[in-house]
Amino acid sequence: MAVITITKENFETEVLKSAQPVLLDFWAAWCGPCRMLSPVVDEVAEERTDVKVGKVNVDEQPELAAEFGVMSIPTLLLFENGKLVRQAVGARPKSGVLELLG
Active site residues per annotation: 31, 34
Q: Are 24 and 79 in contact (CB under 8 A)?
A: yes
DSSP 3: P
Q: Are 83 and 34 in contact (CB under 8 A)?
A: no
SS3 83: strand
User: What gap in Å lies between CA 19 and CA 70, rounded to an integer?
Assistant: 24
How many Å from the N-terminal Cα to the C-terminal Cα in the chain? 18
